């Protein structure tokens, strides 16, 4: 890790994470886990029974990092740090995943309405069988959402593939009465923690 990498790999399809990396001037290439012989190493994101939220996001992020680095080696790509992340929305200690359908999404928004919840994002960087991890924890409070407002929000499908059924960087930003912690962490990639991790791999950010 004494060599200064000219770029990193981002093992995520999230356009939000791409935008955040660009924001801090990181040169990266997206590493898509396409279907190939190594796809069998895909990560199962199902929480274990009674698994704590922080342990969950760290475990999934670490598994994603190891899998992505293995894919990079399998494809004989130039060696470079691989960055992964995993975000979870937590309400009353329960992990809220992505909605399975519109009814599920509506119920999650009802549950979050007028209350505080936590957003945990784990970031991992892997290189040469070495993984560094960090976790960002933020608290978000929603305003009270009536049924009509939930219905209108769900029409745009913004939150259909998001943990907790909302995207803070989109229309749901108007739901947020208060946030304590990292805004970029709630979006999906805490920039302060990410920059600190990359520095350990000699990737310098502003």
- HEC readout, 64-107: HHHHHHHHHHHCCCCCCCEEEEEEEEEECCEEECCCCCHHHHHH
176: domain CATH number is 3.90.950.10
Residue 28 lies in a domain: yes
Which residues, listed in sequence order, are joined to residue 82 by a DSSP beta bridge? 9, 126
Cβ-based neighbours of 65, under 8 Å, separated by 6 or more: 11, 82, 83, 84, 124, 125, 126, 131
- Residues marked active site are found at 86
Which residues, listed in sequence order, are joined to residue 136 by a DSSP beta bridge? 121
| Number of residues written out for the chain | 206
Rg (CA), the chain: 17
Whether 72 has a pLDDT exceeding 70, the answer reads yes
Residue 3 lies in a domain: no
Residue 14 lies in a domain: yes
pLDDT value, residue 132:
94
Residue 205 lies in a domain: no
Assessment of whether the complete model's pTM goes beyond 0.85: yes
Total count of domains within the chain: 1
pLDDT in tens, 42-58: 677 788 888 899 999 99
Cβ-based neighbours of 62, under 8 Å, separated by 6 or more: 122, 124, 131, 133
Domain enclosing residue 108, as ranges: 8-200
Closest CA to 109 of 175, 174, 14, 182: 175
Tell me whether strands 94-96 and 116-127 are parallel, antiparallel or unpaired: unpaired
Residue 2 lies in a domain: no
Q: Using alpha carbons, list the distances in angstroms from residue 113 to 49, 108, 142, 175, 202.
A: 26, 9, 6, 9, 43
Whether 37 has a pLDDT exceeding 60, the answer reads no
Backbone angles phi and psi of 144, in degrees to 5: -75, 130
- Mean per-residue pLDDT for 62-66? 90
pLDDT in tens, 84-96: 999 999 999 999 9
Residue 206 lies in a domain: no
Whether 41 has a pLDDT exceeding 60, the answer reads no
């Amino acid at each position: 890790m004494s060599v200064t990498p000219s770029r990193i790999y981002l093992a995520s399809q999230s356009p939000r994470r791409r935008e955040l990396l660009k924001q801090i001037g990181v040169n990266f290439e997206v590493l898509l886990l396409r279907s190939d012989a190594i796809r069998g190493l895909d990560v199962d994101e199902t929480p274990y029974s009674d698994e704590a939220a922080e342990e969950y996001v760290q475990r999934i992020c670490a598994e994603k990092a190891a899998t992505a680095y293995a894919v990079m080696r399998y494809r004989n790509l130039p060696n470079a740090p691989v960055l992964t992340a995993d975000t979870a929305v937590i309400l009353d200690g329960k992990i809220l995943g992505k909605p399975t359908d519109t009814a599920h999404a509506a119920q999650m928004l009802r549950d979050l309405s007028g209350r505080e919840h936590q957003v945990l994002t784990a970031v991992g960087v892997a290189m040469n069988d070495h993984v560094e991890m960090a976790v960002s924890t933020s608290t978000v409070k929603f305003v009270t959402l009536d049924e009509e407002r939930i219905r209108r929000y769900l029409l745009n499908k913004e939150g259909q593939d998001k943990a907790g059924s909302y995207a803070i960087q989109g229309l749901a930003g108007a739901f947020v009465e208060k946030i304590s912690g990292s805004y970029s962490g709630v979006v999906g990639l805490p920039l302060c923690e990410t920059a600190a991790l990359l520095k350990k791999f000699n990737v310098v950010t502003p």
